[in-house]
Amino acid sequence: MKFLVTLVFIAALYFCAESTTYPNHLTLKENVFDVHWYVNTTEDRFYFKVVANTTGWVGLAFTTYEGGEGMKDYDIALGGVRKENETYLKDYWSTSEVKPILDSSQDLMLTSAMESNGKTTIEFNRKADTGDAADTPLKMNNSIFLA
């Protein structure tokens, strides 16, 4: 019995540590696409949760150009759930309105991806500044535009 109580306590600690709250939220389109995020200043990392009213894949793109015309210099996170519940997340870079290029330096860390009730949710994180020319540096109090 003592072993079971210890095991339950350890499991509870694990799930508490794994649960993430996101104090920042942006709805890009009501009931269609939501972005949640927080910044861990100690680690200098941004954590994201994207919820989209679709199945398959979702993408989130960052740029420093307001309006972001022509998809020039977009840093793109593209991820989701494939058949057999295989999850994935890839780091892309776009230079124009053509198929984006797979970034040679994959700087995104997928923490969760799932589909439920017609929605796809991905959670991932990345360093604020990866040092990669094909990644948009994310800074507190700077404007970053999402698409």
What is the pLDDT, as a whole number, of residue 21?
87
Model-level pTM? 0.80
20 vs 3, 50, 112, 120, CA distance in Å?
A: 28, 13, 11, 17
What is the pLDDT, as a whole number, of residue 70?
79
Mean pLDDT by 10 residues, the chain (147 residues): 35 42 90 93 95 94 78 91 93 91 96 96 96 88 58
What is the pLDDT, as a whole number, of residue 142?
58
The tokens describing 3, both together, are 């072993």
Task: Give the residue extent of every domain in the chain.
Answer: 24-146
Which CATH architecture describes the domain 24-146? Answer: Sandwich (2.60)
What is the pLDDT, as a whole number, of residue 140?
72
Residue in 51, 100, 105 with CA at minimum distance from that of residue 80:
51
Handedness of CA 101, 102, 104, 107 (dihedral sign): positive
